[in-house]
Chains A and B, each alone.
Chain A
């Protein structure tokens, strides 16, 4: 399961691995003030909310149970109990509660959104998608419904639809940096690199410390052949997130593209310092060694990567190239065969040189 940072219904949440000031959100619990007679259900419900705020989830569940016991059609109590279960990562149980909340108040949008979150957490993307849509249809005005539906569209490779959703999110909140970033990524997947660059630039404009967007901006520029621009952007990503090994690896590749092989080596090595089993950086060091015609050293690097990940097809392909340069055609062919078995695109073409083996 991909790690997904969920919105929680009654608390501060953090979007993504890298915190940013915006958009943090607090969604107020559904409070119902109770003063009249025979309102035991409402009283228990309010107690449940108080416990939830104190992070006493067990008591919160007990109070919401009581509330439902007093009033079985109490939609908000189901909803809040579901929210507590979300917090406890009991997603299946949460869905059952959201179902009940919807059953007794099907025009309220919140339970649909919450159920979408639970479904997403369970990798039930189709159900999540439908629930985000229902939440929107029922009048859920928060950017997040559009944003997360956009994310699902992206994951389904439906980039046009993803772009439309991210645009809706942006129209609701023009300072929503994540939506700009992700729309940029959708455009990039659609081969609209200029559009991607424009969006990534907007993302870093609204959040000047958005390391991830700087990294993406660098990669988009690299795709356009603007290696110098890419190197600057990767540098900004590293500045705002000094342990960002991915940005180091990418900056290394931009330098490689510029034939600055020593600079590339430094960056790949830095990425490795931050993550010592980072096979991509090891592989990329090997590619630099090939360009520097240090074929033995290249072979050693690719072997290191293969030792860490025995199914690393690209490293086999590259090691084959190093071996061919070292005139070990038999060894090269063995590596290309393995790469081919692992589904590496060019391996079968390289194997055409291996008739005799």
Chain B
């Protein structure tokens, strides 16, 4: 028995001590010449792809190398190369570790950078202490000259490990789900873009049915194409559809940005950003953004402010850069021209790459990916918010498990702030890079323990106490999504209308959008803290106006409002909802000017129409007083129009007091609706 133990012990030890490098030499495989021949061939084919050094060729090399390694698992160089293929191919990068470990075990001089590569392997596998150990080993072995070259990189890698240790200790509360096979394929999918209400996702895929079906010579993967999927009420995504021409071509066509209403798409083609607009059901041909945005260098990602007036891009331009990709911003002039893009400054940009920019529809939170700041490795996703003085705050890492030691890019967030989408090469995915949905769960919800004590000795009944941690504030996004359709009031056909958002206090137009001509759909993001006037205008129709007061502290809400537009015809009337008077007086307030100017525009456009302006009140107070007030208010509007040059002969006014209510006078809401000014077409 004792002898048997000794044999086992010997065999075991021999595996450790005597595992040795086996060269790909035919003499080592004389018993299986055919097998050696095949394996050697695979090795050489793999070497060819490996030498090319592109992510796609590493994938191809890997296929050959793995076959060769199956035949001869104990070749140090081959194990090292397989580890390198995993590391650089952007797929299953964490697998590199086992091969680097084996390579070192077989031959401790397998490559000058083997300790560094092991550091990378441990780093990607969250074994940060081991990673630091190997990074330091590598540093200690460098010559003074090489140390000079590599010191900065190694120091950064060690810093990343230390950041990783901290982030992993305090994971953020999220669910991360693969969005499923309707969207993801076995090929890479990335750069998801969503409409603010998450009803649509447009993304990039390199699957085999891309337009033209050919492969990028650079990385030997299928060319990028743009795909779309729609989310149903029950949260299911429809099977992704190639968006076809003109968005997709035989070359790379990738998504980079989508306006919150989903009506403008920005794509990446040949190093520049192009814009496409949805006209009805058709996308317009890509049009290159002007030279103020695109340069000779590469421009990557783009995102737009909620009102479409500011653009955020990532660019590799060489002037005014902090290094690598930086994030730039450009604003639109009053004439709609994009100004020269400005670097967003050193709070956001670093000497490393900063890109994948996404401006949230709340108008104040900017997300981006960076290799700088306190990343735990590769690109991490960060956010920064604009403070009350207009300055960006220090970027904050979104945390683990959203961020990983590998690259985390292409993050976008729904308007509600509940769901983020990004691309990641996780184990267990449908393919290599897949699109994942992050559900943000907010701070941990404390659970309650119950205890009791006999506080008073002479009272037998115990007194209960609830032990609960301090309550937490659950923050939601401070914005309102207003969406719906614009249709003809009679035919109910969709109408392409312009939707104008006005800051009532400042009396200035914040932005103008169009409803879709094929569906009538529109979507507007309204950040909290303003009183908004919204005017919907379409040719041949009377305009429709709405007023929304959204206080600063208003949490995320979605309002659906379907708007019916009346054609310009005798008897048609509209309520002028953005006309404001001083309390119980007929004095027009300045906030009314935008609405009145719209009215003047209608009268100018239709020079023959005659109209009646009528005043209406609620039923509080006497009929006599209300008649007088409503008439005075109607007259005030008419006086304004006359002052602006409208002929008196075209205008009539009348006060109806509370005799023509449009809502109940029993509630404050109803009374508010009844207090109004109307505009009616008398003749045209």
Contact = CB atoms under 8 A, between A and B. Distances in A.
Q: Are A and B associated in one complex?
A: yes
A178 B454 contact: no
B450 A151 contact: no
Contacts of A189: 455
Nearest to B555: A352
A38 interface: no
Given A346-B468, A349-B471, A151 B451 contact: no
A3 B448 contact: no
A155 B456 CA distance: 9
B457 A256 contact: no
A212 B445 contact: no
Interface stretch (B154-162, B458-466, B585-593): B458-466
A17 B454 contact: yes
Contact of B453 (A4, A154, A215, A353): A215
A181 interface: yes
A165 to B, nearest CB: 12
A297 to B, nearest CB: 14
Nearest to B175: A327
B451 A250 contact: yes
A4 B445 contact: no
Given A349-B473, A352-B555, A151 B449 contact: no
Contact of B457 (A188, A213, A280): A213
Nearest to B473: A349
B442 A353 contact: yes
B489 interface: no
B40 to A, nearest CB: 51
Given A2-B461, A16-B460, A314 B450 contact: yes
B519 interface: no
B457 A16 contact: yes
B474 A352 contact: yes
Contacts of B448: 283, 287, 314, 317-318, 344, 346
A177 B457 CA distance: 9
A171 to B, nearest CB: 18
Contacts of A318: 447-448
B455 A185 contact: yes
A250 B468 contact: no
Interface string A327-348: 1000000000000000011100
A140 interface: no
B467 interface: yes
Given A250-B451, A253-B451, A5 B445 contact: no
Interface in A259-302: 279-280, 283-284, 286-287, 290
Contacts of B445: 321, 324, 346, 350
B452 A4 contact: no
The winner among B445, B464, B468 for most chain A CB atoms within 10 A is B445
A66 interface: no
Contacts of B456: 151, 154-155, 182, 185
A11 interface: no
Interface in A70-110: none
B457 A246 contact: no
Contacts of B453: 185, 215-216, 219, 246, 250
Interface size class of A (residues with CB under 8 A): 35 or more
B452 A212 contact: no
A151 B455 CA distance: 10
Contacts of A352: 474, 476, 555
B459 A151 contact: yes
A253 B474 CA distance: 27
Interface in B495-542: none
Interface residues of B, number: 34
Nearest to A256: B449
A15 B476 contact: no
B474 A353 contact: yes
A279 to B, nearest CB: 8
A303 interface: no
Contacts of A155: 456
A16 B458 contact: yes
B446 interface: yes
B461 A3 contact: yes
B457 A15 contact: yes
Contacts of B175: 327
Contacts of B471: 345-346, 349
A219 B451 contact: yes
Given A345-B468, A346-B468, A350-B445, A178 B458 contact: yes
B460 A17 contact: yes
B472 interface: yes
Contact of B455 (A147, A188, A317, A321): A188
Given A246-B462, A318-B448, A353-B442, A182 B473 contact: no
> For the complex, would chain A's binding face be called helix, strand, loop or mixed by DSSP majority?
helix
A212 B458 contact: no
Contact of A5 (B450, B458, B465, B556): B458
Nearest to A179: B457
A249 interface: yes
Contact of B447 (A280, A287, A355): A287
A182 B462 contact: no
B449 A284 contact: yes
Given A253-B467, A349-B473, A287 B449 contact: yes
Interface in A128-173: 147-148, 151, 154-155
Interface string A104-126: 00000000000000000000000
Given A345-B468, A353-B474, A5 B460 contact: yes
Given A280-B450, A352-B474, A352-B555, A181 B457 contact: yes
A215 B462 CA distance: 11
Contacts of A5: 458, 460
A352 B556 CA distance: 10
A16 B451 contact: no
Given A246-B462, A349-B472, A212 B454 contact: yes
A3 B460 contact: yes
B232 to A, nearest CB: 14
A3 B458 CA distance: 9
A23 to B, nearest CB: 10
Contacts of A2: 459-461
A4 B458 CA distance: 7
Interface string B173-193: 001000000000000000000
Nearest to B474: A352
A17 B456 CA distance: 10
A250 B446 CA distance: 19
Contacts of A314: 448, 450, 466
A215 to B, nearest CB: 6
Contacts of A286: 447
A345 B464 CA distance: 15
Given A16-B460, A314-B466, A352-B476, A346 B446 contact: yes
A15 B459 CA distance: 8
Contacts of B466: 314
Contacts of A280: 450-452, 464
A128 to B, nearest CB: 13
Contacts of B472: 349
A286 B448 CA distance: 10
A52 to B, nearest CB: 24
B473 to A, nearest CB: 7
A349 B557 CA distance: 16
Contacts of B455: 154, 182, 185, 188-189, 216
Contacts of A246: 451-454, 462
Interface of B: 175, 441-442, 445-462, 464-468, 471-474, 476, 555-557
Given A212-B457, A250-B453, 15 more contacts: A15-B457, A15-B458, A154-B455, A177-B457, A178-B458, A216-B453, A249-B451, A279-B450, A284-B450, A318-B447, A324-B445, A346-B448, A352-B474, A353-B442, A355-B557
10 contacts: A3-B459, A151-B459, A154-B455, A280-B451, A283-B450, A284-B450, A321-B447, A349-B471, A349-B472, A353-B474
For the complex of A and B, 4 pairs with smallest distance between CB atoms = A185-B455, A17-B460, A178-B457, A280-B450
